[in-house]
Structure 1
Amino acid sequence: MFGQTKAYSGFSVDDIPAAKAFYTRTLGLDVGEEYGMLQLRIAGGNPVLVYPKDDHVPAAYTTLNFPVDDIAAAARELAERGVTFERYGDRHDELGVVRGDGPPIAWFKDPAGNVLSIVEE
């Protein structure tokens, strides 16, 4: 039934202007705005919808993963832009990157508290 549908994902935030500033200025994404919602225009063609929610509760899981070629370089650049990486347990390096069982990954949050990541591919 949905095999040919170009599905897209979405998540909520509590402050659209703050989210727009973060996704455009800090992460450097192409962000559209329509009907009070944002569309994160990412590679691959399908946007990610970011919508306002008055009783927003940050996602306790990773809502969006950004594949990178060099995670150390990406982590340094994000840190220079003011991003603080989350530290889950004690398996992260000085940049906040976890290396081990899976691909190298580092988690951070958007202004609404949603968890995002950079992951080396």
Structure 2
Amino acid sequence: MFKDTKAYSGFSVDDTGVAKEFYGSTLGLDVTEDHGMLQLNLAGGAQVLVYPKDNHVPAEFTVLNFPVDDITATARELAGRGITFERYDDKHDADGVHRGDGPPIAWFKDPAGNVLSIIEE
């Protein structure tokens, strides 16, 4: 039924102005705004809806993963832009990258508290 539908995902934030600045300026994504909602325009034509919600509660899981070629370099660049990485256990290196089970990954939060990641391919 939905095989040919171009589905997209979305998540809420508590302040779309702050989110637009973060996703556009800090992360360097193409962000558009329409009807009070944001659209993250990702490589390959993918889109993610970011919508305001008065009683927003941050997702307790990763809502968006960014594949990267060099996770160490990317983590250091993001840290230079003010990003602080989450540390969930003792398998994180000095740059905040989790190394061990699965591919190298580093988690961080957007200003609304939603969890994002960079993951090395």
TM-score relative to the length of structure 1 = 0.99
Aligned residue-pair number: 121
Which digits, 9 at most, give the CA deviation of each residue in 1:52-71, with x for residues without a partner? Answer: 00000000000000000000
SS of the equivalent of 2:23 reads helix
Asked if structure 2 preserves the Cα contact closer than 8 Å seen for 1:91 and 1:98, the reply is yes
**Distance (whole Å) between structure 1 residues aligned to residue 5 and residue 49 of structure 2:** 16
Once the two structures are superposed, residues 57-91 of structure 1 have per-residue CA deviations (whole angstroms, 9 ceiling, x without a partner) of 00000000000000000000000000000010111
* Structure 2 gap ranges (5+): none
- Aligned position for 1:43: 43
For residues 28 and 92 of structure 2, the distance between their equivalents in structure 1, rounded to whole angstroms, comes to: 25
Q: Are positions 1:82 and 2:82 aligned together?
A: yes
The two structures have a TM-score, normalised by structure 2, of 0.99
Which segments of structure 1 move beyond 3 Å, counting only runs of 4 or more? none
Q: Which residue of 2 aligns with 1:103?
A: 103
- Aligned-partner SS, 1:22: helix
Percentage of identical aligned residues: 76
**CA distance in 2 between partners of 1:91 and 1:109 (Å):** 19
> Which residue number in structure 2 is paired with residue 60 of structure 1?
60
In the aligned structure 1, how far is the partner of 2:108 from the partner of 2:26?
12
Which one has a larger percent strand, Structure 1 or Structure 2? 2
Q: What is the match of residue 32 of structure 1?
A: 32
